Amino acid sequence: MKRLICAFALLILISSCGSNRKSAEQALLDQVDSTSLTDTGISEEVISDIIQQIPSPLEISVLLKEVGTEYDNDILNAASNTSKYNSNYKRALNLGIYGTDLGYTNIYSQNQDALFYLKSIRDLADGLSIGQFFDFGTISRLATNSNNLDSLLLITTQNFNKINSYLQEQKRSNLSVLLLAGGWLEALHISCQVNEMNGGNAELVEKIGEQKIILENIMLLLSFYSETDPSISKLMENFTELKDVYDQVEITYTYEDPTYEVVDGVLTIVDNSSSSINITDQNINDITRITASIREKVIN
Amino acid sequence: MRKFITIFSITLILSAFSFQDVMAQCNAQSYSEECIGKLPSGFTFLKSFQVDGQGGAKSKVEYSYVFSKDTQYSINICADGESTDGIVVSMYDSNRRRVMTNYIDGNFYDGVQYPCKATGIYYITFTFEGSSKFCGGSVLGFKR
């Protein structure tokens, strides 16, 4: 019986050693990034569900190229700005911004600029201890040949998805939220600037108006951290100004039952629903101005 | 000594059972990664989804995403072998009205193309119809 108790105690000891090791790892992570201690009161699962709704900024970059606008790196955040970003808050926001800039340069096959942005992304990702999820070697190699665009976009998107998943797993969702907010802000800024330079483009105007939906999600995500994180609270204040304008934008949705067709074995749905955006020139001007102003604070 | 051998044997048996459990677990991540290759030509990868029905314990796996007007999306499903193993993907608008499914007239399609006509939040829901493993992956891509 004594031996049985000894064996049982040994098993418990082994199990508890495992959990102690886990706690030590967690403690180290918490030390590396004190913002991860933020208690939002909201479950990680809920936050993760909202985060994954945010669309990729790549969709906007593809639209910009499709509407025939020229590549313009003056509207991007200079790749050389990385040295300005010394806090995790700034690093995460600007990692998102550079991610969008990289996608934009990739879509336009601007290989040299893409390499500059890759270096900036590596520096910021390393600063946030997430550099291991970015395959810089492969991406750099792919970026030097414009025939590799599909693979380049795939790997870049996968890497950013992995970073987001990792941050959420490590209970550092606040950084994931900032990364997405930065990426979205940059995509909106580029759209607004391109729209302004082209004297107003119907598709771009609609795309800018649609961002009302994304802004609502981002504001919701930021609100989970705003009470405990002064930087996020300040950012949310800035976004509130933008939201005030977006509140004037109307999105109308009409549902109709879908139909479908199968052509050569491929199932294609015919979406009979529709949506329209009611947005004025003044709204667009205000959104352009406020977005540029928020971004200015973020990148400097 | 006999008691020690008995305890050691019990521990080994328990470990073996737990190892079997691990082996039987659904590797949805692997399916979702493999599935990227199934995206039709011209579509750019956006997201991959893991579909783990936990051996039938979970009847539904749900994700959501903001789809954009005038953008064509492709959702592809991967499971064991060539079939979808009874995995049904359906998409619902923000009012929970169905706008898309891959299960039509008793047929499972392993890919659906969806030219979106209304921007909004959509729910991508995976359910199971006669599935044997309740395990798979899915991938979302877009083109303009």
pLDDT on residue A218:
96
Which among A157, A266, A269 is the nearest to B45, CB-wise? A157
Mean pLDDT of A198-207: 93
Mean pLDDT of A250-257: 96
Integer Cα distance of A164 and A175 in angstroms = 9
Integer Cα distance of A267 and B100 in angstroms = 10
Query: How close, in Å, is residue A258 to chain B by CA atoms?
Result: 6
Question: Of A289, A64, A99, which is closest to residue A183 (Cα–Cα)?
Answer: A99
The reported pTM is: 0.85
3-state secondary structure of A200: coil
Integer Cα distance of A31 and A35 in angstroms = 9
Residues A112-148 have pLDDT tens digits of 999 999 999 999 999 999 999 888 889 888 888 777 8
Interface mutation vs chain A, best among B1, B10, B50, B68, most A CBs within 10 Å: B68
Question: Is A266 in Cβ contact with B4 (below 8 Å)?
Answer: no
ipTM confidence: 0.83
pLDDT on residue A212:
97
* Residues paired with residue B104 on neighbouring β-strands, in sequence order: B107
Query: How close, in Å, is residue A13 to chain B by CA atoms?
Result: 14
pLDDT on residue A245:
98
More confident residue, A21 or B13: B13
Query: How close, in Å, is residue B49 to chain A by CA atoms?
Result: 10
- Extract the tokens encoding A37: 């201690």
Who contacts A56 (Cβ-Cβ below 8 Å, separation ≥6)? Answer: A103, A157, B46, B47
Residues B75-116 have pLDDT tens digits of 999 999 878 999 999 999 999 999 999 999 999 999 999 999
pLDDT on residue A149:
85
Which among A150, A153, A271 is the nearest to B99, CB-wise? A271
Question: Is B98 in Cβ contact with A258 (below 8 Å)?
Answer: yes
> What residues of B are in contact with residue A59 (Cβ under 8 Å)?
46, 68, 71, 142
Residues B31-84 have pLDDT tens digits of 999 999 999 999 999 999 999 999 999 999 999 999 999 999 999 999 998 789
pLDDT on residue B1:
57
Which among B46, B71, B118 is the nearest to A253, CB-wise? B118
Q: What is the 3-state secondary structure (H, E, C) of A117-149?
A: HHHHHHHHHHHCCCHHHCCHHHHHHHHCCHHHH
Question: Is A53 in Cβ contact with B121 (below 8 Å)?
Answer: yes
What percentage of chain A carries pLDDT values higher than 90?
71
Residues A164-200 have pLDDT tens digits of 999 988 889 999 999 999 999 999 999 999 999 998 8
pLDDT on residue A7:
53
- Taking CB atoms and an 8 Å cut-off, how many pairs form between chains A and B? 119
Residues A299, A94 contacting (CB under 8 angstroms):
yes
Which of A60-64, A148-152, A261-265 is modeled with the greatest confidence?
A60-64
Integer Cα distance of A236 and A93 in angstroms = 13
Q: Kindly indicate the confidence band of residue A44, based on its pLDDT and cuts at 50, 70 and 90.
A: confident
DSSP conformation letters of A249-263: -EEEEE----EEEEE
Give the lowest-confidence range in A34-43, A91-100, A243-252. A34-43
pLDDT on residue A36:
47
Secondary structure E strands in chain A? 250-254, 259-263, 266-270, 274-278
Residues A288, A196 contacting (CB under 8 angstroms):
yes
> What residues of B are in contact with residue A262 (Cβ under 8 Å)?
109
Interface mutation vs chain B, best among A273, A277, A279, most B CBs within 10 Å: A273
Which among B44, B66, B109 is the nearest to A54, CB-wise? B66
Question: Is B119 in Cβ contact with A271 (below 8 Å)?
Answer: no
Which among A153, A217, A258 is the nearest to B99, CB-wise? A258
More confident residue, A4 or A24: A4
Residues B45, B39 contacting (CB under 8 angstroms):
yes
Residues of A with CB under 8 A from a CB of B: 3-4, 7, 11, 49, 52-56, 58-59, 62-63, 66, 150, 153-154, 157-158, 161, 203, 206-207, 210, 213-214, 217, 251, 253-255, 258, 260, 262, 266-275
Count of beta carbons in the 10 Å neighbourhood of residue B125: 18
